[in-house]
């Protein structure tokens, strides 16, 4: 069964390069991002995980934990982190799941239930195991993105999406296209004009169903 937006993520017990973790305990009361890749010691994935490492202060500022996933072993992850840190120029302090049995890949619908990995696999064998999952403190999936093998992920967009999710959750609003922190937000259509005025003060009515306002503070 597919994991859909607002589904509770499975509370799997996973092995990582930092030991055994239970997903719900690891998330705790925080936001969390799980990001997967097809194989350790590959060029695009190394640049991506290096980008995640360099953003450690940004994740912390958003009270967000990050965890990588691949179907390589924990020992391989530990070795690969030396390369990640060389490219990033900083420590890669986040854990990486060793999903050798494909339990996480299948539970998060990255691979079909009957999938298996051949001996001597290449990155192409696990190409679909390349996704991002943003999880809320309620352990529910808030957003997912899937990327092809030859296009590196844009973690500035991941941060922007995370900011949008957190802003929407905190203020009960929506965010428009290309929104960034500080831009106007959208008042949900279910909120009356009177309630919108009481909550937000002034707002702009662009269309009967499109009202924009700035957030105080």
Known catalytic residues are 45
Residue 59, φ and ψ in degrees, nearest 5: -60, -45
What DSSP string runs through 153-165?
Answer: --HHHHHHHHHHH
Alpha-carbon distances of 127 from 5, 61, 143, 148, rounded to whole Å = 22, 32, 20, 7
Give the strand pairing for 31-36 and 131-135: antiparallel
Question: Where do we find the tokens 């305990």?
Answer: 25
Sole residue written with tokens 């352990």: 139
């Amino acid at each position: 069964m597919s994991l859909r937006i607002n589904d509770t993520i499975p509370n799997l017990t996973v092995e990582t390069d930092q030991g055994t973790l239970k997903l719900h305990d690891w998330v705790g009361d925080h936001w969390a991002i799980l990001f997967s890749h097809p194989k350790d010691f590959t060029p695009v994935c190394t640049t991506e995980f290096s980008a995640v490492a360099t953003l450690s202060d940004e994740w912390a500022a958003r009270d967000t934990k990050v965890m990588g996933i691949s179907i390589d072993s924990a020992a391989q992850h530990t070795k690969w982190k030396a390369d990640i840190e060389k490219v990033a120029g900083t420590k890669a302090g986040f854990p990486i799941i060793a999903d050798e049995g494909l339990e996480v890949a299948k539970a998060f619908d990255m691979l079909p239930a009957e999938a298996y990995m051949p001996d001597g696999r290449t990155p192409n064998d696990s190409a679909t195991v390349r996704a991002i999952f943003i999880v809320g403190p309620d352990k529910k999936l808030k957003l997912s993105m899937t990327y092809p093998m030859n296009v590196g992920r844009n973690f500035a967009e991941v941060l922007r999406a995370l900011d949008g999710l957190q802003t929407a959750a905190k203020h009960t609003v929506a965010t428009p296209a290309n929104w960034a922190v500080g831009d106007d937000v959208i008042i949900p259509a279910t909120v009356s004009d009177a309630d919108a005025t009481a909550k937000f003060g002034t707002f702009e009515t662009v269309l009967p169903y499109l009202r924009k306002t700035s957030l105080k503070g």
